[in-house]
């Protein structure tokens, strides 16, 4: 086995993979609402959810709670599992966009609010609709840019 | 109504990208590389297979990497002349740059001389992997 594989197995913390995708669906709806109403408060709410997902873990957000209580009991079939780190990374990126959007709104830059919220919406929608893996596409590019 | 415009733009652009994303991910594409681009066991940190080597680049924030590893390890397990190597992209950024790898998982298919003959970005499909392995001598 490769070094990476054993490293992954060591700290293998997995969750039901359908949870983050369900959360991405609610996130999409909330961010559409933020843009449609042009409301910074909706973005503050979503930013708080992103912060919980980024710092505590994606399985602890209110959306994950809805998934556990209302959605998962109704799902049948095998439970696909996923490492928590990819969705946690996505929540962190979402948090950065939400913070940028909030800063834009409070500092009188409505365009920054719209652009940042739109970027978060694009990622959430791609995740919900196409099972897009943000960490797969973005993390390596960030590393390549940085070093 | 003005506030609905960005929503429509974002959702339609994201849909176009999403459809392309789903179609392209996992597809094995033929690579045209000359012998000067051959990869050695030294460079990859692991001996090559006598007929084919599958090299998977993975990262920590990658959901399909695990499924790809399980699939490829399983395919390779019955073939003594094919080797599977997994590389942590983050720890080998020079190699990642040299091979022009942009996302994970990316799997390279190397022939017996270590020349890249195919590449899949995203989790490949089992039948496609088996097909491309059987086409290599």
Torsions phi, psi for B27 (to 5 deg): -75, 135
Indicate the helix (H) or strand (E) that contains B37: none
More confident residue, A12 or B118: B118
Q: Domain limits at B58? A: 27-134
* Residue B37: pLDDT band with limits 50, 70, 90: confident
Beta-sheet pairing, B52-58 with B82-88: parallel
Is residue B12 a part of any domain in this protein? no
pLDDT (average), residues A83-92:
95
Task: Please give the structure tokens belonging to residue B98.
Answer: 């040299």
Distance CA B12, CA A146 (A): 31
Is residue B14 a part of any domain in this protein? no
**Nearest by CB to A130, which of B13, B21, B97?**
B21
What angle, rounded to 10 degrees, do the helices at A110-130 and A85-106 form?
A: 160
* Residue B137: pLDDT band with limits 50, 70, 90: confident
Looking at beta carbons, which residues of chain B come within 8 Å of A88? 61
* Residue A146: pLDDT band with limits 50, 70, 90: confident
pLDDT (average), residues B90-95:
94
Is residue A111 a part of any domain in this protein? yes
pLDDT at A130 over 80: yes
Q: What is the pLDDT of residue A6?
A: 47
Burial class from Cβ neighbours inside 10 Å (0-12, 13-18, 19+) for residue A112 reads middle
Q: What is the pLDDT of residue A4?
A: 56
ipTM here: 0.89
**Are B21 and A126 within 8 A, CB to CB?**
yes
pLDDT (average), residues A118-131:
97
What angle, rounded to 10 degrees, do the helices at B4-24 and A18-37 form?
A: 150
Is residue A97 a part of any domain in this protein? yes
- Give B52's DSSP letter: E
pLDDT at B69 over 90: yes
Residue B105, preceding peptide bond in cis (omega within 30° of 0): yes
Q: What is the pLDDT of residue A68?
A: 95
Is residue A23 a part of any domain in this protein? yes
How distant is the Cα of A35 from the closest Cα of chain B, in angstroms?
A: 6
pLDDT (average), residues B112-129:
94
**Nearest by CB to A137, which of B3, B89, B103?**
B103
* Residue B20: pLDDT band with limits 50, 70, 90: very high
pLDDT (average), residues A85-92:
96
Q: What is the pLDDT of residue A145?
A: 87
pLDDT (average), residues A16-33:
96
**Are A36 and B10 within 8 A, CB to CB?**
no
Is residue A105 a part of any domain in this protein? yes
Q: What is the pLDDT of residue B51?
A: 95
* Residue A8: pLDDT band with limits 50, 70, 90: very low
Nearest one of B63, B77, B82 to B123, comparing CA atoms: B63
DSSP annotation string for B68-124: HHHHHHHHHTT-TTEEEEEEEGGG-HHHHHHTT--SSSEEEEE-TTS-EEEEEESSP
Please count the structural domains in chain B. Answer: 1
Nearest CA in chain B to A127: B18
Would you call B34 helix, strand, or coil by DSSP? Answer: coil
Is residue B85 a part of any domain in this protein? yes
Q: Domain limits at A28? A: 17-73+83-146
How distant is the Cα of A117 from the closest Cα of chain B, in angstroms?
A: 10
Is residue A41 a part of any domain in this protein? yes
Is residue B7 a part of any domain in this protein? no
Is residue B31 a part of any domain in this protein? yes
Is residue B83 a part of any domain in this protein? yes
* Residue A131: pLDDT band with limits 50, 70, 90: very high
The CATH number assigned to the domain holding B64 equals 3.40.30.10
Would you call B53 helix, strand, or coil by DSSP? Answer: strand
Is residue A65 a part of any domain in this protein? yes
pLDDT (average), residues A68-89:
93
pLDDT (average), residues B58-82:
95
pLDDT at B92 over 70: yes
Q: What is the pLDDT of residue A10?
A: 44
**Are B63 and A133 within 8 A, CB to CB?**
yes
Task: Please give the structure tokens belonging to residue B38.
Answer: 């051959």
Is residue B3 a part of any domain in this protein? no
- CA B70 to chain CA mean position, Å: 14
Collect contacts of A60-68 with beta carbons under 8 A, ≥24 apart: A61/A23, A61/A91, A63/A22, A63/A23, A63/A26, A63/A27, A64/A19, A64/A20, A64/A23, A66/A22, A66/A26, A67/A16, A67/A18, A67/A19, A67/A22, A67/A23, A68/A19
CB of A143 less than 8 A from some CB of B: yes
Would you call B51 helix, strand, or coil by DSSP? Answer: coil
Is residue B15 a part of any domain in this protein? no
pLDDT at A55 over 90: yes
Looking at beta carbons, which residues of chain B come within 8 Å of A17? 63
pLDDT (average), residues B33-38:
84
Q: Best interface-test mutation with A: which of B12, B60, B105, B123 has the largest number of A CBs within 10 A?
A: B60
Please count the structural domains in chain A. Answer: 1
Residues in chain B whose Cβ is within 8 Å of chain A: 3-4, 6-7, 9-11, 13-15, 17-19, 21-22, 46, 58-66, 69, 85-90, 93, 96-97, 101-105, 122
């Amino acid at each position: 086995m490769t070094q990476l594989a054993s490293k992954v197995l060591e700290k293998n913390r997995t969750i039901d993979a359908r949870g983050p995708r369900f959360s991405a669906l609610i996130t999409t709806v909330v961010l559409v609402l933020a843009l449609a109403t042009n409301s910074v408060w909706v973005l503050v709410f979503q930013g708080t959810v992103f912060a919980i997902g980024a710092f505590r873990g994606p399985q602890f957000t209110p959306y994950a709670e809805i998934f556990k209580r209302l959605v998962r009991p109704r799902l049948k079939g095998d439970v696909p599992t996923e490492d928590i780190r990819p969705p946690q990374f996505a929540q962190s990126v979402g948090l950065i966009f939400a913070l940028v959007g909030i800063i834009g709104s409070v500092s009188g830059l409505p365009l920054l609010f719209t652009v940042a919220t739109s970027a978060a919406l694009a990622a959430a929608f791609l995740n919900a609709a196409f099972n897009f893996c943000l960490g797969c596409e973005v993390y390596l590019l960030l590393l390549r840019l940085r070093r | 109504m003005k506030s609905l415009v960005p929503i429509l733009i974002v959702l339609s652009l994201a849909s176009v990208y999403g459809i392309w994303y789903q179609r392209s991910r996992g597809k094995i594409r033929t690579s045209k590389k000359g012998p000067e681009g051959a990869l050695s066991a030294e460079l990859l940190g692991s001996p090559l297979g006598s007929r084919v080597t599958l090299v998977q680049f993975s990262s920590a924030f990658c959901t399909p990497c695990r499924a790809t590893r399980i699939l490829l390890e399983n395919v390779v397990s019955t073939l003594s002349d094919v080797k599977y190597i997994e590389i942590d992209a983050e720890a080998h950024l020079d190699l990642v740059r040299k091979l022009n790898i942009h996302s994970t998982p990316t799997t390279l298919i190397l022939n017996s001389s270590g020349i890249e003959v195919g590449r899949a970005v995203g989790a490949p499909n089992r039948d496609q992997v088996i097909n491309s392995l059987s086409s290599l001598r």
